[in-house]
Structure 1
Amino acid sequence: MRVISWNIRNGGGKSVDGILNQLSVWNPDVAGLQEFRGMASSKKIADALRDLGLVHQVSTVDPVEPRWNRLLLASRIPFVTHEATGVCKESGRWLHATLDTPDSLHLMLMHVLNRFEGSKYKFQDEVIESFQAMRTTNALAFGDTNTGVPNIDEEAMYFLPREGEWFDRIREAGWEDVWRANNPEAREFTWYTHGGSGFRQDQLFATESMARRVTEIRYDWGQPEAETGRTMSDHAAIVFDVEMNAP
């Protein structure tokens, strides 16, 4: 099963056609999009995913405020969703679904608030609570966390010690940062400032039973736009494959 996690920037905007083409190239079974909005460009992406066979969809778009950044989860496989609580619910930046598979695979899509949006650390506490409750299940969590480990996941000083400690708490909860586990010494970045400083702030986390079933994971910026040479989003996507037949 191929899964794509991607912050598409501002609902896709003017890059929507390139985004559609790239999603077709990746050909995912599940797509989790961040900065999805209730606007024409995002709706075009959702429709295109349906055309690709990802007909089971849910979003957290607020119909009253369609321009706010929200989430879309689209899948070839049917799923049921679980009600969020707290800041995760209020922000519309958390989706928890269980796929209709023999192993009842849980997927958690997130877009963690940044520290200037007021409730980042409460959001992260709630993520830890969810991880603790799900540690013995088959579960994957992914998205733009606006967080990394200081001095490792950054080219310029930005991440705070408490943000690095969040990764320690994730490990203590029985989950693994899958890309880092597979690339312990590597430095690769998923978002850059206008000044060119890179940060790895998009991650895939997995419970112990699922970490070994991720057969491939990479960050992928996609094919640059032909006319401008620019990437379609300011974030790299997480592209990962999951073994669905493993015991």
Structure 2
Amino acid sequence: MDQTSNSLVMLPGLLNDERLWAQQAEALSDQCEVHVADLTQDDSIPSMARRVLDKAPPRFSLAALSMGGYVAFEIIRQAPERVLRLALLDTTASLDSVERAATRRGLLELANRGRFIGVSPQLLPRLIHARWLNSHVSRIVQEMAVAVGKDGFIRQQQAILDRPDSIPLLSEIKVPTLVMVGADDQLTPVREARTIHDGIAGSRLEILPDCGHLPPLEEPERTTTLLREWLAMEPEVKSLSEFVYTQ
């Protein structure tokens, strides 16, 4: 295995920053070199993926949550030979429903008119399990949203709306893959994780009880343990000259 195979790139979700992965990044630093990407600068998923690839080591393991999962799929499209392992948390390979897309466009319109409020108390129950309301978890979620800000939110929502369908890509993913989801995730529910798991041969599905959309914050120890086990899996590593990928 080449010398960069112990590198881990972690992708945050919508209105998230490096704090989403802070506990895992620290805990896993004894096993790998951790890089948390910034997904706030671009307004398309392909551009986000290119920025990540430009800054990433030649080969790396890739962990992603929610919107980060959309970017992870795009990284597989653009540079599959560079990804050694894939962990997909609380994300979907499917496009938005008509209703979900309409909701996103409405939020975009409000933000463009200056009405961006980050993560409101009314939204929190959809993001995290009820046991974490009015806790350090809810504070971190709200602080991250403020840090990303209105302009970052607009870019991210536009990117999500324009993303490609990743269902056809699933069968092409051949690296060791962990699929994780909170049992009570309301935004990307368990059925979405099952679709990804069913589509990626040999993937592992883990459903975390009493957990919402953000396992790295809600269940940090369990998330770290699962990622540590995943990082220990040996991928089949081809030389770059041998790698063949058919889109």
| TM-score under structure 1 length normalisation | 0.36
| TM-score under structure 2 length normalisation | 0.36
Q: Which has the higher contact order (CA 8 A, sep 6+)?
A: 2
Point out the structure with the larger helix share: 2
